[in-house]
Structure 1
């Protein structure tokens, strides 16, 4: 049986951010995940404390957290490979892992970053290897894993398929001998980019460290589009995937009304 976590950066956005973990708990979920929940790479200690308290007080587990990725609404998709902003990413590493340590989170998504026209792609890729290794070394201190994710809808983002992300992970592990990197398999992004999701599950299940879902077209909840998400989730479970499945979709109605596709409340816990 799959265990689901509400991504509170895309669901319950009608509420202030710090109220969303409680809303997820009231909807029957025991786990949440977030993109980076602050406007800057290194927020004030008081802001971090308020975030940690909101998750703790809601009685939910934080099962996924992104490193700072820049201005996501403005089109940024990570700082890992961005030379001018690499220092921000590095400054953010210990902050992110620190939040994870306080809340028991062990999965950290490092968005790779868009291609920058002022820099050669090879230069960006070399920087990304260094930064991902630094992130993995920090995450290892708390038993955590750094996730590498293919993304759709961002023309200049170079990781489109599972093979793209796995190739990056292989480069990092070959150069720095860090075992704790894994594929974030967002079944929506993979499908929209034309990847063979069933084949990814069959051939690379042992390298999938986290799963997220949304339906396509529309990126709404399962059942609103054409993707065979139930069958794919069943294949993941049958193959031994025991991690959570992040609900990273835009609700087609209200957030609270978008969970009807779940058969029973037990599936959310």
Structure 2
């Protein structure tokens, strides 16, 4: 007995915590603080308001940014063994709230006058310690938050410029720019064909036929050195940004309508279904890990 007690007294404190001096004590894994950088690009060039980009889309047009904001949620890291581990996001009520992150790459420079001067280019939170080799998340606002009252919602869900209506909900991605052919080309991603509110309710929806929330699976993501890249050059690669293909009196670009032909190549680059075009996650090219 005296020998065992003496052994416990001389062991280093950290080792004592691990061994417990012969007792079976559950151990809480250390948590890792994570700040996952998300960078915006147009091809090989960094995205910035006030710049002009060349050789964009099928017509190799110029592109002057006007807006670039994206919501993401359901952020998970993937262990080497394939297990998904949710990232507990920091609640800062500015860029992150209730598991939702607003990534904002547009300040007030150049033609970017619609949003705020503030920008956010990171996903911040914590996870249990582990060997992580992948990252997964969903682009958009989750359904249980998508049809609330934007006028009373806390940031980043209180921005009316990122909200369509009670029925349709939030604009998951608002990307806008000026090209040679169009004074404003828009790409607004969100849910469409949403049903009226359920019986007895005055707002919300009974469900949307087209949820339009891409699932991102970024393999080979290194938590210590990796970053997420959102590339407008890749998103627009198969699109003609100089014309409104849907014709007059329609959205100039893509507003996620299932009848807007301008959306077809963009949705393919997002891995989403569009009309008779089946969802193809393997074709997703907008977002990648580096």
Q: Decide which structure has greater helix share.
A: 1
What is the TM-score with the length of structure 2 in the denominator? 0.25
Q: Decide which structure has greater strand share.
A: 2
What is the TM-score with the length of structure 1 in the denominator? 0.27
